[in-house]
């Protein structure tokens, strides 16, 4: 890949549950998306199974501030949890 600055890595299709992608120059950021699995979570006072996916964002701190990276990751999280937000541009 040449001239790019952002990569998405989908290790989830191979069953990856968690990992840290490595930034390869000239990329500045890579988003690792992992498999969706049912996991135990607490909702109210009950433990229930919910589908969950881990995301990992690796970025070059020389080019991107940590706060901006976290805000971007939060935006991705909200979009994955509620895809209509993306479709409606909310």
Q: How many CA atoms lie less than 13 Å away from 57 in the CB half-sphere?
A: 19
Is residue 68 annotated as part of the catalytic site, yes or no? no
Q: Which entry of 45, 60, 61, 68 is annotated as an active-site residue?
A: 61
Angle at 39 between CA 44 and CA 31, to 5 degrees: 110
Q: Which of 34, 45, 60, 65 is catalytic?
A: 65
> Token pair for residue 55?
């995301």
Is 45 an active-site residue? Answer: no
Catalytic residues: 61, 65
């Amino acid at each position: 890949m040449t001239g790019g600055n952002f990569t998405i890595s989908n290790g989830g299709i191979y069953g990856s549950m968690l990992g840290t992608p490595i930034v390869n120059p000239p990329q500045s950021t890579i988003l690792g998306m992992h498999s969706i699995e049912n996991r135990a979570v607490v909702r109210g006072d009950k433990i229930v199974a919910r589908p969950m996916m881990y995301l990992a964002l690796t970025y070059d701190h020389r080019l991107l501030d940590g706060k901006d990276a976290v805000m971007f990751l939060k935006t991705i999280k909200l979009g994955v949890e509620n895809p209509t937000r993306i479709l409606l541009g909310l």
